[in-house]
Amino acid sequence: MKRRDFLKVTGIGAAGAATLAAPAIAQSMPEIKWRLTASWPKSLDTLWGGVEVMAKQVAEATDNKFQLQTFAGGEIVPGLQVLDAVQNGTVEMGHTASYYYFGKDPTFAFGTAVPFGPNQRLNQAWYMQGGGRELLNEFYKSYNVTSFLAGNTGCQMGGWFRKEINTVDDLKGLKMRIGGFAGRVMQKLGVVPQQLAGGDIYPALEKGTIDAAEWVGPYDDEKLGFNKVAPHYYYPGWWEGGPMLLGIVNLDKWNSLPKYYQTVLELAGQSANSWMMAKYDQLNPPSLKKLLAGGTKLHSFSPPIMQACLKATKEIYAETSATNPNFKKVLDSLNGFTSNGYQWFQVAELGYDSFMARNPQG
Ligand code: CA
């Protein structure tokens, strides 16, 4: 039966159907305006772009009834204080990297990435299917927030170095902009880690106040111009194999949100998550080509350096686990999932990727 015939038979025209449905929709779609504060400046169109995607989709899916008013880092609170602002209800929600709050409790690192953690695929699989979300949200509960997936950068680069780093000894005394957990691992190997906001890295590297700096990958790094002041570009960023960005929401605000809006918000987060990874996959290849054409020298960290970093990481995992049961619980879950995941990935995914990378198409 054609739609118009059906409407004729039942006696409900298009206008009648809309009238009948309206009360139910109105009840479940109140007008709500939330403030979202992000950790990013608007100039980072990959990370900030994910925030915009999320806000746009929430508005469109609710006929503009539910709106996220978005603020860049520094507009309401500094980029590294998003958690605090959401926790105390200054804003309803945020978009951030959980590992920025590593200083409060190292367990926060799992919401983004930990050294020698999984790649993007396995990290989000752990979060979505491996119990990661439940474990993290149980932990976040004591900070009065909850989380959902809302972005990923993919595996990051190891950063920019003014001089070549060949041996583990070359790391000793090196002043490097590298934060949180990775900074502590590097410290074990003699590096002097420095915490610097994005905008302060270039002048420090130029003046030689620091010898090295890590940021994200070719596209974001090129924007900040590090290639002009440090010629050696190392990979991989073993501390960020597949870092997740999360939407975090004040728990009371989340609980008071209509179920439909909760679903819309989560779906918009999923959408930002896919959008961001696709954006990086589109933008990084041409940026890397451009950097190499401009004289950047690409190096992989040597196997002894990688092994020394892994060893130092395991020591810190053991030390932290001994005193922090939350940390241990989440680490055991993630490590189990990652280890199983790579047993499978080394068969089909790695076999295929390795062949394809050596045999470019087109
Ligand atoms: Ca980084």
Domain range for 249 is 29-152+242-282
**214 C-alpha to ligand 1 centroid (Å):** 6
Q: How far is the CA of 35 from the centre of ligand 1 (A)?
A: 26
Residue 116 sits in a domain of what CATH number? Answer: 3.40.190.170
- CA 240 – ligand 1 centroid, Å: 7
Number of structural domains the chain divides into: 1
Mean residue pLDDT of the chain comes to 93
Q: Does a structural domain hold residue 70?
A: yes
What's the gap between Cα 5 and its chain centre? 51
Phi first, then psi, for residue 12 (nearest 5°) are -110, 115
Query: pLDDT-based confidence at 362, cuts 50/70/90?
Result: confident
Q: Give domain status of residue 333, yes or no.
A: no
The residue with tokens 């902009």 is 177
Q: How far is the CA of 177 from the centre of ligand 1 (A)?
A: 10
Q: Which two tokens stand for residue 235?
A: 């990979």
Instruction: Tell me the CA–centroid distance for residue 336 and ligand 1, in Å.
Output: 24
* For range 66-87, the mean pLDDT: 96
What's the pTM value of the predicted model, to 2 decimals? 0.90
Distance 299 CA to ligand 1 centre (A): 17
Q: Is 272 inside any structural domain?
A: yes
| Residue 25 pLDDT | 57
In a domain, 264, yes or no: yes
Distance 151 CA to ligand 1 centre (A): 14
Q: How far is the CA of 215 from the centre of ligand 1 (A)?
A: 4
pLDDT at 3 over 70: no
With b for 16 or more beta-carbon neighbours within 10 A and e for fewer, the 278-294 pattern comes to: ebbeebbeebbeebeee
Give the confidence band of 4 by pLDDT, cuts at 50, 70, 90. very low
Q: Determine, yes or no, domain membership for 229.
A: no
Residue 266 lies in a domain: yes
